[in-house]
Amino acid sequence: MIRYDVFDARDLLAFPGGDNSTDTVFGGVHFNLTTLQHWNYTYYSNGTLSNNSRCYLTYEPYEPKLLISNGTFINATKCYSAVDPIAVRGYTGIGFAVAYAIGLMLTLSCLAKHGRLYLPKEKRFYPIGRRWQWYWGCFVSACALISLFTNIDIDRYHVPELPIIVTSFFWFLICQGTVALVWESVRHWGSWQERQFVDPNPFVYREDDRRAKVEFYLPLWFYFWTWMNFFLVIPRSWSFVEQQRSPEQTLAKAIPTATGARFKAGAFCLVIAWLTIVFSLRHSIYHYKPRNRGVLNRTMGLVKALPLRFVLTIPLAGALVAYQVLISFNWTFSVMRYQGIVPVIFAWGYGPSLLIIFVQAAYGFASPNEDKALLNQRRQRGDTIDRELGIVRKPAWWRRVRGEHLYTMRDKISQNVNEVGGKRGLRARFEGEPEGETGGKDDGIEMASMSQKNNPRVDRAGVGSLGSADRYAGKSQRRHNERIVESFAGVLFPNNVDPERARRIAEITADGPPPYRDEERGRSSRPTGASNGQRNGSADTTNSIAAPPQQVRSMLDV
């Protein structure tokens, strides 16, 4: 149970000589050699005593002060203690931990910026979809901080134990989180491109075509392989990582397990997940970017359509996956190795994730909130339509100068009512004022009163076609309601039937005799003695027989 690296030889030393054959000395303290041998204690070259159950340090100032006959040491320091100074691996881990802490703060700022809503939620584009990439960024940063801060104690522990287990455990979580981060950024970029197409025209893309089905099943496919990597690597006994206390133990326990079938299969699952990211990016470019013909034009179009951050993050994620594949076959460069190669472990094991975090943060600060960008696009489309229609909008300060930005809904309704003449104006439009109230003259209202005096057109019942409902003298409620509807319809939807009729009559009479009238045949349009709204029941046909025959001059006379 002593500390060795893989390339050192295991040396068992004889107990130091003491005053006699049953005495030994550790750090100037005498111990009973018979008792030590009775409890199977062995002395190792790194200054530790161990009987495969307990391990104690024997060099100053950590040497035991007393040994009891039952094999118990008094005031002894166990081997699994952080007593050694920080080495290169620890200092490098501190530097990377600080960088990841800065990345975590930047990621939280980007989450607050891009996760805020300025538009109502849409069922087709959930708000959490844009936040997942930042959630995974926070997850990766948190796992990296735990892994790197416990990495400091790997060198400080005289015998490898818990710190190297925690460091290795959270490093594999960093790999999964980093791949998921890149996936969510690529997936959401495609969703954002679709949203910009759908916003001006909701029917530009169908929701049941092949494109929509691929975008529905692709996340399920990706997370299936990512979670397969999780279940193959994480839920297991991790005690094999600390079993590097001697070359024999490393060769027998640590290396076979670290390069076993489960780690190889888990790395293969991440390879499939990374290929899914590449396919998703190609799918989004194909459907949401301009298409070109020809191999050269397609290549140039693909290069132009690729966002710069994906040119950086996708290869970095691929490098991280490649490192996990490498250490599943080669123990020399493994992050789980007790005295591994520090530049390889940190540059290849922790570097890609850190760079992806900062690339994402740079994108987050440089790009606007998507809701704000969508509002700006809507504003630009509205300005374009206004220019085409010749509409000139008042500047934004207009409402504030007039105080309209302080109006409540009631104030706005009152303003609209006042623009059409207030209550009296509405009554004059829809009911008609008696002559006694207005004096029979226009009082400044846009449309004059709709009484019978101002509207001489009278139907058979004696009520103007745009007259008020109270002019109706009958008792039928249905007829009364019909007159109200007719009055409002005439005001809201005015027509020019009478001017058009007069124009047609003038046009016809210009080339020939006047149009046909009933008086020509000896009968009037209104029977004598009949008032408005009344009908003469006479069946006299004398005038019709005595009248001259009708002469048809045009089709309008028929």
Q: Following DSSP, what letter does each residue of 264-330 receive, concatenated?
A: HHHHHHHHHHHHHHHHHHHHHHHHHS----SHHHHHHHHHHHS-HHHHHHHHHHHHHHHHHHHHTT-
514 domain-assigned: no
pLDDT reported for residue 428: 54
Per-residue pLDDT, 496: 66
**Measuring CA to CA, which residue among 334, 338, 325, 335 is closest to residue 249?**
338
Give the integer Cα–Cα distance in Å for 33 and 48.
15
- Which residue type does 183 have? W
In a domain, 477, yes or no: no
Q: By the 8 A CB rule, do 279 and 314 touch?
A: no
Q: Has residue 133 been placed in a domain?
A: yes
554 within domain boundaries: no
Cβ proximity of 44 and 2 under 8 Å: yes
Name the nearest CA neighbour of 258 among 3, 6, 4.
6
Return the C-alpha torsion angle 292, 294, 298, 299, nearest 10: -160
Give the pLDDT confidence score for residue 278 in this predicted structure.
Answer: 95
55 & 132 share domain: no
pLDDT at 423: 55
Q: Is 101 inside any structural domain?
A: yes
Q: Report if residue 251 sits inside a domain.
A: yes
Q: Are residues 102 and 204 in the same domain?
A: yes
Which of 348, 376, 404 is the endpoint of a domain?
Answer: 376
Same domain, 48 and 129: no
For residue 321, is it within any domain? yes
| 20 shares its domain with 99 | no
Supply the pLDDT for residue 387.
Answer: 86
* Residue where a domain stops, chosen among 376, 398, 433: 376
Domain limits for position 66: 12-74
| Residue that finishes a domain, picked among 356, 376, 396 | 376
Same structural domain for residues 21 and 138?
A: no
Cα 489 to Cα 79, 106, 418, 492: the distances in Å are 97, 62, 21, 5
3-state secondary structure of 213: helix
- The answer to whether residues 42 and 173 belong to one domain is no
Residue 61: what pLDDT? 82
CATH assignment at residue 137? 1.20.1070
Give me the pLDDT at residue 464, please: 42
User: Which residue in this structure is represented by tokens 């001489």?
Assistant: 456
> Do 180 and 96 reside in the same domain of the chain?
yes
Specify the pLDDT at position 202.
87
Pair 186, 294 in one domain: yes
The reply to whether 171 and 239 lie within a common domain is yes
**Angle, alpha carbons 119-121-122 (nearest 5°):** 115
Same domain, 230 and 371: yes
Q: Based on the fold, state whether residues 240 and 286 are members of the same structural domain.
A: yes
Orientation angle between helical segments 308-327 and 162-198, nearest 10 degrees: 150
User: Can you give the pLDDT at residue 102?
Assistant: 97
The two three-digit tokens of residue 212, written as one number: 């929509």
Alpha helices in 157-246 (DSSP H): 162-198, 210-233
Specify if 557 maps to a domain: no
With 0.85 as the threshold, say if the pTM is over it: no
Token output for 436: 């006694």
Phi, psi of 82, deg, nearest 5: -85, 80
Residues 160 and 201 in one domain: yes
Give the whole-angstrom CA distance, residue 152 versus residue 166. 11
Give the distance from CA 203 to its chain's centroid: 21
Q: Residue 537: what are its φ and ψ, rounded to 5°?
A: -90, 10
Burial of 248 (0-12, 13-18, 19+ CB in 10 A): exposed
Tens-level pLDDT at each residue, the chain (558 residues): 334 333 333 457 777 777 777 778 887 788 888 888 888 888 877 778 888 778 888 888 888 888 888 877 888 888 888 888 899 999 999 999 999 999 999 999 999 999 999 998 888 888 898 999 999 999 999 999 999 999 999 988 888 889 999 999 999 999 999 999 999 999 999 999 999 999 888 888 888 889 999 999 999 999 999 999 999 999 999 999 988 877 888 898 999 999 999 999 999 999 999 999 999 999 999 888 888 777 787 778 788 888 999 999 999 999 999 999 999 999 999 999 998 899 999 999 999 999 999 999 999 999 999 999 999 999 999 888 888 888 888 887 887 887 877 888 888 888 777 776 655 555 555 555 444 444 444 444 444 444 444 444 444 444 444 444 446 667 777 777 777 777 767 666 666 666 777 777 777 766 555 555 555 444 444 444 444 444 444 444 445 455 555 555 555 544
Number of structural domains (the chain) is 2
Q: How far apart are CA 392 and CA 84, in angstroms?
A: 77
